A = this chain, B = another copy of it.
């Protein structure tokens, strides 16, 4: 019960952080209110929606929890009236922490959902990574940038991948499902925060 409420709180933080990353990216590119709201919504819900399309699951998160659509609409419309240019760099640094929460809970939750849909371990892990990463990739494609998750040499999708395996392994131990998800999410969140703090980088290739 307590754990479930905690998971829901983590998820809310994650959705807001992902939406904010889309809103900021769209604002930086001088998008209008439509673009800001749409890119925010796609950053927040794109990953989970693709996962559900691939798993043939309905209803989507944002159909079931329609309140989120209203929240995003409100945030997207209101924010530009309060935000100023010098806020953007500030906000960008400030959302690194909630974004880490989003990465963890989306990856672990996505893996869990795939497992209970009958996916094999590797496919479940892929679904976890898709849930956590695809929203950001679509955000970057829509603002016409190369996806950050693919070329910034920071441990991001790699951590989602590792933490999703934690969820899979714990699922064999017959622990309660919410513990699996919490442990996987916590694993990712802690490593992601450490990676940000200490500036960890993925190995650079020799070519080019």
A-to-B contact residues, CB < 8 Å: 26-35, 38-39, 49, 53-54, 56, 58, 60, 63, 66, 69-70, 80-81, 83-85, 87-88, 119-120, 122-123, 126, 137, 141-147, 149-153, 156-158, 202-208
- The answer to whether B158 touches A84 (Cβ under 8 A) is no
Residues of B within 8 A of A30 (CB): 151, 208
Does A142 contact B137, Cβ atoms closer than 8 Å?
yes
A123 near B27 with CB under 8 A, answer no
Chain B residue, CB-CB nearest to A138: B141
Closest to A161 in B: B34
Q: Which residue of B lies closest to A80 (CB)?
A: B205
Residues of B contacting A142 in the complex (Cβ-Cβ under 8 angstroms)? 137, 141, 146-147, 150
Q: Are B157 and A34 in contact (CB under 8 A)?
A: yes
CA gap between A207 and B32 in the complex, in Å:
11
Is A58 within 8 A of B60, CB to CB? no
Given contacts A31-B146, A83-B205, 15 further A-B contacts (CB under 8 A): A29-B151, A31-B151, A33-B203, A34-B150, A34-B158, A38-B150, A39-B150, A63-B119, A69-B122, A69-B123, A84-B207, A85-B207, A142-B146, A142-B147, A144-B145
User: Please, which residues of chain B bring their CB within 8 A of the CB of A70?
Assistant: 122
Chain B residues within 8 Å of A208, by CB: 27-28, 30, 85, 88
